[in-house]
Amino acid sequence: MSVHVNQDSVDIRQTQVANTASIMLADGALALFVIYVVIVAFDILPPRLFDPTWMINFALSLSGNIAIPLAALVFLHVAAWLNPLSNSIQARRNFFARIARWVTLGFLLLIPLIGYATWAGSNSIKIQNAIQANNAQVTTKRLLQVIDAATTPNQLQLGLIALSGPTIPNELLRLPLSSLKDQSRIIVNQTSKSFLLNLDRLGSERFLPFYIQSLKAFLLALVGAAASAALAWNPIKNQSMLDEVVMGDFRQIRLILNPKQFIANYKLNQEQRALSQDARKRVLEIEKQRQVEARKNAAATRKQSLERKREMEKYIKEEKRKRSNRID
């Protein structure tokens, strides 16, 4: 008897612990959801909808912090399992599990957004590099024109300074003008080539980190979609969204690989479709018969009503005649 009482006490204690743990897990899940929203909001504000870099940061913020809401969903599933009799926890789990379905779709939609942002960002970098290279070529052409038009060393020096060109040291101003111009042309051309080479190198260095960030966002979006689908629980079917999709695809593959089963299912579907059509035809026939009977009954009712009305009028006329005869 005492052993039975002790076992009951242990069971009650375990139930109390499970209930307390489920409440803490459910509340902790809500806190994690709030933390995720706050982090993402601060990462993406202010919005710059047409900026490729912002698009990549937006995708990275959503997918890079996905571990937080996923942990919250896991907490809710564990809480619902520990306390299956709590309607509030079960409802909370089902609510966020339904949201996880839409989150899966959202992460899948991030993939084309990442692709567009990568394309737009690379084009933007190329355009910026092209503009800088064109400006460098225009500046070089102007410097060469200044060098050719200079008539004195001082004029050459001032012209180069005005266009932010290379500076000629004062000691070189003693050289003949032709030699000074030749050296100035060499310096300008070398500076232009060095700038263009450095521009190409910087462009490559800008492309690589951008592509790495895009690839990271792409992979995280895929993982986020799969994880959200795995935790999007359907209490009616008692399975996750991922199971629904994967098992559905596997069934189709098995049917394709098994022609006999595929043909049998096709014939069964045809028979069911034929039965459905026959049932609809039968329902239409019954409905038509009912309408015909209803019209007949309505006509008979109107006929009876008219006959009663005539009998009533005849009776009234006869009573009036009898009354008038008695008065006479």
| pLDDT per position as a tens digit, 288-310 | 888 888 788 878 888 888 888 88
Q: What is the pLDDT of residue 265?
A: 63
Q: What is the pLDDT of residue 43?
A: 86
**Domain assignments of the chain as residue spans, ordered by start:** 2-256, 258-327
Q: What is the pLDDT of residue 34?
A: 92
Q: What is the pLDDT of residue 207?
A: 72
In a 10 Å sphere around its CB, with 0-12 CB exposed, 13-18 middle and 19+ buried, how is residue 167 labelled?
Answer: exposed
Q: What is the pLDDT of residue 38?
A: 92
Report the C-alpha gap between 23 and 76 in whole angstroms.
Answer: 9
How many C-beta neighbours within 10 Å does residue 262 have? 14
**Assign residue 160 a region: left if phi > 0, alpha if psi is -120 to 50, beta otherwise?**
alpha
Q: What is the pLDDT of residue 189?
A: 77
H runs (alpha helix) in the chain:
2-44, 52-64, 67-82, 87-149, 153-162, 177-231, 241-257, 259-327
Task: Determine contact, residues 26/79, Cβ cutoff 8 Å.
Answer: yes
Q: What is the pLDDT of residue 200?
A: 63
Report the C-alpha gap between 303 and 72 in whole angstroms.
Answer: 75
Whether residue 235 is preceded by a cis peptide bond, meaning omega within 30 degrees of 0, is: no
Structure-token pair, residue 302: 């109107």
Q: What is the pLDDT of residue 255?
A: 52
**Positions of the chain with pLDDT lower than 70, given as ranges:** 1-11, 153-157, 160-161, 163-175, 177, 180, 199-206, 245-266, 268-269, 276, 326-328
Q: What is the pLDDT of residue 148?
A: 72
